[in-house]
Structure 1
Amino acid sequence: MRLRTVLATLTAGLAAATCLAAAGPAAAGTAARHACSAAVSIDRFSDALDKTTYDGTFVGNFSALAVDRDGSLAALADRSSLFRLDARTLQPRAAVHLADEKGADLDSEGLVIDRDGTRLISSETEPSIRRYSRDGAILDRLPVPPALQVAPAGRATANQTFEGLTMLPGGHTLLASMEYALSGDSAGIVRFQTWTRHHGRFTPGAQYAYRTDAGLGVPEVQATPDGRLLVLERGFTAGVGNTVRLYLADLRHATDTSGIENLTGQPGVRLAEKTLLADIAGCPSLGATAKQPQPNPLLDNIEGMTITGRDHTGRLKVLLVSDDNQNAAQTTRFYYLRVRV
């Protein structure tokens, strides 16, 4: 989304690091030089696509990532484009324009590549989740619970709805994360809505509540192989910069909140458990530069995330991307992390 300025509590414990060459594999060195925390390290970053075009389409505004069935990288722009990128070089190989049922552009935010190759794409304006074919044709649209719809139809605020989208292991449960709280819920309590697949159709299922850090929203979620969630939390303070934190969330003991109208600290409502994996401000900068003030020049408006595999030690390979909003003061940047969960 076009990130609104929010007051974020910043913790900028910058790790001591040796500056390394940007946009390429990290030079040999000790693991400590790449550590963001005890659980997360960064291999490298790439600005290769910043302020570039492909076949007349601006390459940027990225809001979501996914690994496609052929091993390529799908990158969703929030201005109605879906790119196919070379997984190794990041170079664009194709671009598909997306539209709603009336042919209008989408504020497209979340992306899942389904097991049959169809694309599940969320928009934060209604909000909506639509299924598209590879060539961008609409196949159908998932039902959205009334309370999650934008006012006056529901209690959500425009551009603060379905930012994250992920499929849980097994391929039977889809989960979308709201970016900010519904009207009537306590500030910082966001809802995670699920859909269950029955005979090829998705119907609304359980819903869970997750508490963000003060002033932060949820731009992305990704299911881990064991069914937990990687959750990005993000905020921005003018003159200071971005806050981006990576959490591990567990829904197993959380209350199904689909039947609870207002979440205001009721007894007996268990929120999703969360564990901080890393504050990205604590990563080594690796020689990165920023176009505006940041607590760490590596930081930008990070919004997309996908798990691309595991390394030989079992750590998850996690790829992040920032949304530059087609703004000269921001950068389209890819971040290559290794995460131990």
Structure 2
Amino acid sequence: MMDIHTLTNKVRLKSFELGFDQCGFAKAGPLDPEAFRLEQWLNQNLHGTMGWMENYFDKRIDPTKLVPGAKSVVSVLASYRFKENEMHDKQTDDPKIAKYARGRDYHKVFKNRLKKLFFYTKELTGDIKGRFFVDSAPVMDKAWAQRAGLGWIGKNSNLLNQTHGSFFLIGEMIIDIPFVYDAPQTDHCGSCTKCIDACPTDAIHEPYRIDSNRCISYLTIELKENMPEEFEDKLSDWAFGCDICQDVCPWNRKAKYGHIDDLKPRERVLNPPKKWTTLEEDEFEDIFEGSAVRRAGYKQFTENAKRVELTSIG
């Protein structure tokens, strides 16, 4: 087997070849501080109706229970910051879709690339055991990316990176071989509170902690019950997801643009044939084929769009 330094460099270089912007390595083991904070957050019901976040708690906080024998968590990220999105947001008055969901579903984009990275690693090392994930299992991806030196958790609870801001997506491999591990980044938010000040629903009720019950992304995607009246006029143009706390973040002003074509916004999403509020279900399915927007579904998406329009008229 090749030496650990060569292996680490080869896997990192392969990740760049596959289109990822950064790749970091962390030693697998229990996430003790994160486990305590997660337990507190769940006990305070700040996860809203997302009951699945309570499931498999032991595996969520310890990847060696998810992948027996795991020694490493290899995290990758890829940017979805594109000029087309920024120009569109300046010009449109239509209900908005979060930027990550304007291209192809990132689960599919990442999964194919991670699969190739996994089998490349297997070729280099022989028979390895492990799995790769893109929001597909109880993995605390932001915590592992932070431990792998890919950024720090910002006050809006997103992972922030000095080069790529926060408009990026994360995936990981959990495998049973060691690497040269990266050092975690320090916090670079400083005294800035722009994300907290900009949130129209006060979802960031204290730095580094989100109340999902008040978050526009949660309200427009995850909440399947009737939206509480107090939020119906506070969606601030968002019909699916929300980018407000990221749009105001100073680190995103200087972030590098992405380069994976599949993550770029689709023309039919930026310039749909008709208003979102007037879409028929078959038109919705056609426009958002292979898109994360389908997670909300036709009824929820068009109802959110109508709320936004009513608020802007009012």
Structure 2 length-normalised TM: 0.26
- Larger relative contact order (Cα-Cα within 8 Å, sequence gap ≥ 6): 2
Higher helix share: 2
Max Rg structure = 2
The structure richer in strand per residue is 1
